[in-house]
Amino acid sequence: MGNFQDFAGKSVLITGGMGFIGSNLARSLADLGARATVVDSLIPEYGGNLFNLKGYESRIHINIADIRDEFSMAYLVQGQDYLFNLAGQTSHLDSMKNPFVDLDINCRSQLFILEACRKHNPAIRIVYASTRQIYGRPDFLPVHEGHLLHPTDVNGINKMAGEWYHILYSNVYGIQTCALRLTNTYGPRMRVKDARQTFLGIWIRNLTQGKPIEVWGDGLQVRDFNYVDDVTDAMLTAALSEQSNGQIYNLGSPERVNLKDLAALMIKVHGKGEYGVVPFPDDRKPIDIGDYYADYSKIRAALNWNPRLSLEEGLSRTLQYYYQFIHEYL
């Protein structure tokens, strides 16, 4: 990995910076001595939460703005050394209910941000948060970056386009961009109010409130999970690497687990609780993707990135966080 001390004194913009991953990243960057600015719209249904930057208000510049606000974005990208571009609409169901909102946020705004960088700050380095969702239902496992993209929802299609705008602006204009295809990410500061961000959020909420966990489908769907600190490490590493320019990397984990076993592990870590297996809700079934886990050997080889936390340890830290702060997330 790169030397994260290189961020000291650097100007860094983080879109979606009050959300789950963005806020963890912003806090790390502030700790590293970066001048971090977060942009977040605090749309109630999305992941932004003022509490996520609690204690960092004096060290992180908080700029409330929607990335669809083009004039503000054109100003905010100027003078930045790095852009961690994490803002997005992430709910699969919301993307089907209102595809045009998803299009505006995940396509138009991304294109606008890249155009603004091209015009006003072409030396910026950009890391884009892409998603495994764009692969759709895997043709083979583990899924490497050479796997076809056949997304199963509007969100997946728009994120696919958003990712490719970033790669294009590297290939054609020489803007230094890198896209990370995140798998299921969990940890402190994730949204637990509902399943919009990840089903793990609602599992954690139910567990801490003494309610049973609902496992959808047959519970045998295999997934991989990254603890949020491992994901922010990947982003920081990608930002510092010359080699990452114009590249797409999967994130992933050596631990792969089916949802029933994950529920059982979470209950074990929590010390009590129960889960039930229930059929897919009707609106989820057509966009379910079956098993998924990533081949992340490309980023391991290129950037020497490896997830460091075991799933059990990550879940333990996550639960500890929500034991203390769950009321800030309801």
Stretch that binds its own copies, among 2-10, 158-166, 215-223, 230-238 (CB under 8 A): 158-166
- Measured distance CA(133)–CA(291) in Å, rounded: 12
Q: Could you say whether residue 135 binds its own copies (CB under 8 A)?
A: no
- Measured distance CA(203)–CA(63) in Å, rounded: 31
Residue from 10, 59, 61, 108 in contact with its own copies (CB under 8 A):
108
Nearer to its own copies by C-beta: 118 or 260? 118
Residue from 19, 47, 151, 273 in contact with its own copies (CB under 8 A):
151
**If you search the block for the tokens 């970033």, which residue do you land on?**
166
- Measured distance CA(220)–CA(32) in Å, rounded: 41
- Measured distance CA(130)–CA(116) in Å, rounded: 20
Element (H, E) at 196: none
Length of the chain: 330
Q: Could you say whether residue 167 binds its own copies (CB under 8 A)?
A: yes
Q: Could you say whether residue 112 binds its own copies (CB under 8 A)?
A: yes
Residue from 20, 135, 165, 186 in contact with its own copies (CB under 8 A):
165
Q: Could you say whether residue 76 binds its own copies (CB under 8 A)?
A: no
Nearest CA to 251 among 132, 126, 89, 125?
132
Q: Could you say whether residue 74 binds its own copies (CB under 8 A)?
A: no
β-pairing, 125-131 vs 247-250, is unpaired
Q: Please state the closest distance from residue 114 (CB atom) to its own copies, in A.
A: 9
Q: Could you say whether residue 171 binds its own copies (CB under 8 A)?
A: yes
Interaction residues for its own copies, span 172-231 (CB under 8 A): 172
Nearer to its own copies by C-beta: 13 or 289? 289
Nearer to its own copies by C-beta: 164 or 325? 164
Q: Could you say whether residue 290 binds its own copies (CB under 8 A)?
A: no
Nearest CA to 128 among 172, 154, 101, 162?
162
- Here the tokens at position 163 are 């990712």
- CA angle 60/66/72 to nearest 5° reads 80
Nearer to its own copies by C-beta: 56 or 164? 164
Contact 323, 315 (CB under 8 A): no
Nearer to its own copies by C-beta: 70 or 261? 70
DSSP assignment string, 234-253: HHHHHHH-STTTTEEEE---
Nearer to its own copies by C-beta: 44 or 146? 146
Nearer to its own copies by C-beta: 21 or 87? 87
- Binding residues for its own copies, rule CB under 8 A, total 29
Nearest CA to 242 among 88, 108, 81, 125?
125
3-state DSSP call for residue 316? helix
Stretch that binds its own copies, among 39-47, 166-174, 207-215, 299-307 (CB under 8 A): 166-174
Give the residues lining the site for its own copies (CB under 8 A): 96, 99-100, 103, 107-108, 111-112, 115, 146, 148-154, 157-158, 160-161, 164-165, 167-168, 171-172, 286-287
